[in-house]
Amino acid sequence: MKTNHKQVQWLVFWLLGYLPFALMAAAVTNTPGAVPVSAPLSAAAPAAAPAVAPALEPAKSTTSQHFPSTEPEFETLPDAGTIDYGIVTALAQDARGLIWIGTQTGLVRYDGYRFRKFVHQPADPFSLAGNHVYSLSVAKDGRIWVGTNSDGISVFDPASERFEHFRHDEKVKESLSGGRILALANDAEGGMWIATDQGLDYLAHGGKPRARPGARPRRG
């Protein structure tokens, strides 16, 4: 009986000493990714790789999208009979949106609803200088410059609805170099470049026409 008592006493002592380690080993073993206590360090399980976010899909290019093409539509304006023979020699649009149309029989203004025609009237000195319009230009001050085929330039003032004239005169040095106005172009200073059949002239804002040096061709 003494022997059995000692064996039981030794067994209880062994269990009390080993049990805490066994419980710790069991707890570690049940933990995900944990290394068993009894396993050597060299045999430890590799660390779990960090989570990698899924690669983003490249954005789809919008340049490959196809939009329905729209064909330009042309509309015949009412009262277009104001333009004789349907011949247009020049076009310009002013700051108010009005369309100015040069024809061989006068200057036509279109406001989106109606046509109005300006023609030369011999008894009216403030009418258009000549009916055959060759070129047009809208100045920064809103005036409409009208170059004619043989009668120089008429400048239309929308406020007074009168034309001011610049003509070619052999006896006047500061007149236009020619009566046929091929082209008109205004500059940033408010002046106007004037291409005639005889050379290139320049008219400063509020001044008189003058030929550029060397611009006028030799005659004879």
pLDDT tens sequence across 97-125? 999 999 999 999 999 889 999 999 999 99
Structure tokens at 216: 């006028």
| 129/21 same-domain check | no
Edge-first strand order for the sheet with 153-157 is 133-138, 144-148, 153-157, 162-166
Residues 6+ apart with CB under 8 A from 162: 126, 156
| 100/161 same-domain check | yes
Domain count along the chain: 2
Range of the domain at 168: 80-211
| 108/199 same-domain check | yes
| 192/119 same-domain check | yes
Structure tokens at 156: 């239309």
Residue 16 lies in a domain: yes
Read off the CATH number of the domain in which 130 is found. Answer: 2.130.10.10
pLDDT bracket for residue 186 (50, 70, 90): very high
Question: pTM higher than 0.75 for the full model?
Answer: no
Residue 48 lies in a domain: no
CA dihedral (146, 148, 153, 157) positive or negative: negative
Residue 74 lies in a domain: no
| 203/114 same-domain check | yes
Are 186 and 140 in contact, with CB atoms under 8 Å apart? Answer: yes
